[in-house]
Amino acid sequence: MMPDLTQHGTAETQEWKPAQNTPVIMFDRVSKTYGRINALNSISLGISGGVTGILGMNGAGKSTLFKLMMGKVKPSSGAIRLFGADPWKNPAPYSRVGFVPEHEKMYDWMTAFDFIVTFARLHGMTREEAGKEATRVLSFVSLADVMHKKIGQFSKGMRQRVKIAHALVNDPELIILDEPLQGCDPLARTTIMNVIKELGAMGRTILVSSHILQEIERITEQIVILHRGRVLALGNSHAIREMLDQHPHKIALECEEPRKLAESMIGIDEVTGFSFEQPGKLLIETQHLGEVHKLLPRIITESGTKVTGIDNPDDDLQSILMYLTGGSI
């Protein structure tokens, strides 16, 4: 059932009455322009349940999308519904939402515990309830032992986890994370990804944005690709991969005798070309990335060449966009 888009938000602090059978988030032909810049262009999207990755390069409109959801900015046209209500007019649905902003600036003078308690109280909790919840969410992100330290003393990864914890304090049904992995070291990334996966497993609706494909792939299979303010692709990451496989791909092989290796590949239909750009490196061109990857171990063994590395140099967002847009990114 589609939500009734003609409904209007009611008074701000009114008690929340959940709208039945509506997607958690509904975008209906939403556009957002800043002056002459088109940040979002007629986006229609409905999201309910699961973990969804919003993938796009810087300036693709990911943050604008989130700001519209959170009522921070007003759509230039179209309608947005967050739990059935217009977020620009009504902050009531935020009681069911946890938002992790991308901004790095935090209240460095506060302890992690105080920070979370303060903002938990804005959900209408008493001091005691807020304290209990703060301890719970800080343990969930494994910061219980440092929760009485000042945020200013925290590393980037710890700060991100504090931000995530703060968004979880009201036990939200929807969690929105704007670039939660940006600037984190590999260990912090893994920790944060695990936290997000765990939340997904708990049945929450999660939206997470990133500009790095591999990161998103490690978290979820459900992907929305944004490009220049439009939804370029939407669906399962495997489907997107398959779509990618229809386009010529490059595989880089680091080996001792590139020419010898190339010779052994002549006659394989899937391989459409070779190039030797650097010494000790063979570039294979193919339309069927998956097939070639399956064949490669046998070919390498048969040729008797020692291969030290295999890489897909164009297996990143930029290349995907290249393929999807037909080369005009």
Partner 1 sequence: MSTRMDTIWSKLDRKSTAIAEFTMRQYRTRISTWVIMIASVVALLLMLLFYIEAMNTEIQAIDNDGDSFDSDGDGYPDGQERLLGTNPESAEDFPIGVEPDPPEKWINEDDINWDNLKDGENYVGEDDDGDCLEYFDTSSQKDTNDNNIDCDIVITVDSLNETIYFDADSGVDEDPDEDKYGKEASHRAFVLGIGKFGIVYLLGIFLPLFLATGLIREEMSEGTIHYMLAKPIARGEVLLYRILGYIGITWPFILGICLLLCLVTGFSGPGDDFFRWSDIGVWMSIAWATMLVSLVYGVIFCSCGIIWKNGVILALIFAAWELGMVFVTIFTGGTSSIRYMSVIGWGMIIVDAGVTISWPDNWQLIQVGLWGGGQGEENWLGQIDYAALPGAEPLAAFTGSPNLGVSNWLSFVISTVVLLFQGIMAWFIGQSIFKGKEVD
* Residues binding partner 1 (CB under 8 A): 12-13, 16, 67, 70-74, 91-95, 97-99, 101, 103-107, 109-110, 118-119, 121-126, 166-167
Q: Whose Cβ is closer to partner 1: residue 16's or residue 274's? A: 16
In angstroms, what is the minimal distance from the CB of 54 to partner 1? Answer: 17
- What would the two tokens of residue 129 be? 């309830």
Local structure of residue 111 (DSSP, 8 states): B
Supply φ then ψ for residue 34, to 5 degrees: -110, 105
CA-CA distance, 121 to 136, in Å (whole number)? 15
CA-CA distance, 120 to 165, in Å (whole number)? 10
Q: Whose Cβ is closer to partner 1: residue 67's or residue 227's? A: 67
Specify whether the backbone of 162 is left (phi greater than 0), alpha (psi in -120 to 50) or beta: alpha
In angstroms, what is the minimal distance from the CB of 154 to partner 1? Answer: 16
Per-residue exposure over 143-169, b if at least 16 CB sit within 10 Å of its own CB, e if not: beebbeeebeebeebbbbbbbbbbbbb
In angstroms, what is the minimal distance from the CB of 122 to partner 1? Answer: 4
- What would the two tokens of residue 34 be? 């800043």
- What would the two tokens of residue 64 be? 């604008």
The DSSP bridge pattern shows strands 51-55 and 271-275 to be unpaired
* Residues 227 and 54: beta-carbon distance below 8 Å: no
* DSSP code string of 253-303: EEES-HHHHHHTTTT-TTEEEEE--STTEEEEEES-HHHHHHHHHHHHHHH
Length of the chain: 329
In angstroms, what is the minimal distance from the CB of 32 to partner 1? Answer: 10
Q: Whose Cβ is closer to partner 1: residue 180's or residue 258's? A: 180
Cα angle: 126, vertex 130, 133; to 5 degrees: 145
In angstroms, what is the minimal distance from the CB of 208 to partner 1? Answer: 16
In angstroms, what is the minimal distance from the CB of 88 to partner 1? Answer: 9
Specify whether the backbone of 267 is left (phi greater than 0), alpha (psi in -120 to 50) or beta: left
Q: Whose Cβ is closer to partner 1: residue 54's or residue 106's? A: 106
In angstroms, what is the minimal distance from the CB of 8 to partner 1? Answer: 14
In angstroms, what is the minimal distance from the CB of 204 to partner 1? Answer: 16
Q: Whose Cβ is closer to partner 1: residue 127's or residue 259's? A: 127
Q: Whose Cβ is closer to partner 1: residue 152's or residue 248's? A: 152
Where do we find the tokens 């994370």? Answer: 177
Coil, strand or helix: which one is 146? helix
Type and span of the H or E element at 198: helix 186-201
